[in-house]
Chains A and B, each alone.
Chain A
Amino acid sequence: MSRKGVGLAAFDRSRLTSAQFASHGNSLRNTNAQALETQLSVFKSLLQQFAQTHAKDIRSNPSFRAQFARMCSAIGVDPLASSSSAGAGSSSVWAQLLGRSVNDFYFELAVRVVEVCGATRGENGGLIGVKELRERVMRGRMEGAPEVTEDDVLRAVGTLKPLGSSFSVVKVGNKPYIRSVPKELSTDQSAVLEAVQVLGYVSVSMLIVNLRWTRPRSQTVIEDLLGEGMLWVDKQAEEWEYWSPGFMMSAEGAGTG
């Protein structure tokens, strides 16, 4: 190789070597891609196997399902991603893999959530506690249907995100609620709803004493919430009481005692 290429052939030779390098690079890249592809397909088939063998567990065992979802998010895949534009290819693979097991579970649940929200909107103004929502979903299910946890409900609501912002999770105090009307709660409204959680109801004087609000402020907030349909008024108490419709669920125990 010490010989200097001085003749015309040298041009040919350099062209030849660069071509050889290029082809070699190509083949390297190909094998690399092939190796990756096989790895991916192995991974896919393993996942498929896993999803298939454990589909029943995933559907029926809430804690297993939560673990599975956690594992998926740990390795950077969202089992629920359905139509995100970014990873269209990979997400459709997921839908394909888990189509009949996990994805459907949450989509079915999401449909039930939407139904319950719609059916109860009249009585609760479009704000329903996750706990209550779960109870209603469970009541509507057939005997032997897999159990649903609050975590599942929250995840199912997450799947509704692509449909716009009409369904979302809001926290009032430390209780999660599902909001199915496009309405933001003001700080005062949240404060009242949080206070309601304690006894199931509030009165104007309770707000004055406990939140140190003025009477007009307390009255305004309560009027607002009544107007939204998020509270029910009981005029037969000594002082008018304003009840959370969520307490209709547990009233049997608490209200009669």
Chain B
Amino acid sequence: MHYTLFILILPLLSFVVLGLMDTRWKARTAGTVGTCVLATVALLSYFTAFSYFFGGHREGGYSAEIAMNFEWLRFTSPTEGNLGGLHIDLGILLDPISVMMLVVITTVSLMVHIYSLGYMKGEKGFERYYAFLSLFTFSMLGLVVATNIFQMYIFWELVGVSSYLLIGFYYTKPEAVAASKKAFIVTRFADLGFLIGILLLSFYTGTFDFQTLTSDNAGVFAGAAGATFMGASVLSWAMALIFIGGAGKSAMFPLHIWLPDAMEGPTPVSALIHAATMVVAGVYLVARLFPVYVVYTPEVLNGVAYVGAFTALFSAVIACVQTDIKRVLAFSTISQIGFMMVGLGVSKMGGHDGLGYMSSMFHLFTHAMFKALLFLGAGSIIHAVHSNEMSKMGGLRKYMPLTHWTFLIACLAIAGIPPFSGFFSKDEILTATLEFSPYLGIWMSLTAGLTAFYMFRLYYNIFWNRAYKIEHNHTPHESPLAMTLPLMFLAAVTCAAGFIPFGNFVTNDGQHYHSHLEMNVALASVAVALIAIGLATFMYFKENPLPEKLAKTFSGLHRAASHRFYVDEIYLFITKKIIFKRISKPVAWFDRKAIDASMNGMANFVQAKYQQVRPFQSGRVQQYAIVMIFGALILAGIIILFVR
């Protein structure tokens, strides 16, 4: 399966060519080249997925397959007992989740490429934008097919860089620059945990390789047995630190602060990176190392579940009061990733116990599709209205029918209404959660209800509520075909994806699992969703003073939620008031007054002395000649008089 290499090489080539050509190519050429390359890559991925899942002799389930591998750096030579030594490879690993991710990434990326042809038309830096998109696609694909945790880390950072570049695409806007820096620094901070986790894990197991780590080979972890640090085993520390890396990328509480700000980037970028692909990298990471989590560190896995559950509800509450439509979607993304984390956290190995894992991956798949659809729809609306604020919208359904219908489908999907895809995946997560712990299940059901509520609040505020106020003779109009085509395609996928028998393809032990609808859970969750939608309809369908009144009644809660529960303020307080003031300032003072000053003092001393010596070097040859002659005379005199 060597052709899979082209899935990685083509976007990289596209990035290099587009980046080098920059404005030498017309914007249109650059866009077409980027899109065509992505289309090829998407076709290749579909072919890979098809031949992996349906390529015969797979009746006994799916096993991981190394398409290619190449040893890049070797640290220790192979000896007995450490499994071939420690070395970093670069390769391509195909297993159910990586193949599924290939399909998700290339599909969403292709849609975003096509969409951007319309959305970014006439923007300054259009070519640069497509180059960065290619770079991102390359790094994300490299991340999912990584054969070992270090290769994943390399691409993990590359993804972070391309996210930074794309958030800061409008680099003349100070908010965008600040947001890109924030995203980069926060995720970098989390990646520090990831790196330490990798080092710990590889130190004790002697391998980076995913297959060695996740196979049933208990000998790998023998080295870590008994080693403890501060009351917990070293392995737990390692896995928890690796999860922190994942939590940073996946915007789990309390590292979620960068994601809402990342909405300063162009909307298609938000759809691609901050909704569908990069932010699920953390989920993917946990899923990739799932066998290690579940067998050796179940307590960390429980932690994953609780962090996910808290984040899900926390950000759902915030999403209910945000007024910027992209911010609402951002918090909704955080909440849905929380769902995926919970799904992973409550899962066990194999068969029905592995339902959580399967449903989490399923939710990742469906969420990528409908959240990309929501973001692209939001982009279409912003394109028409030229504003992100809900108050500037309302009554748009007449002007943009296609956007309206596709947005509605996505809203229904995320709210969990059958037969749209979100229903199936969310329902399975809820089933798995209820089996794990009823309280957590109820908590997650509540979150699901809130999801339905805020999504329909958003929907009504955009498309119904009040008549659109036409300003400066500017009538909003439907977006061009380049933008509506991806919307329709993703809407079709959203309608159909729920019926994919996902358990047949992706489970954590590779065996087929025939999931079936848990009727009680399904009915309950649909009822909750319907009640929430009803409530939203009641409050936001027409202009209604009720939301205002409620906001006044619960003014404290409302204010806190619209300030995102002051998490950003806490961060600012910690960084500005404590770290900057109490630590950085004295350090900076020491640096300037002690280290720099001693160096400067030496330089100044030398400089002062040189001023005194300087006249001697006048540059006048005649002066030199005099000195030389007299010197020679004196020397001659000394020799004649005293040397015998």
Partners in one complex: no
Interface residues of B (CB under 8 A from A): none
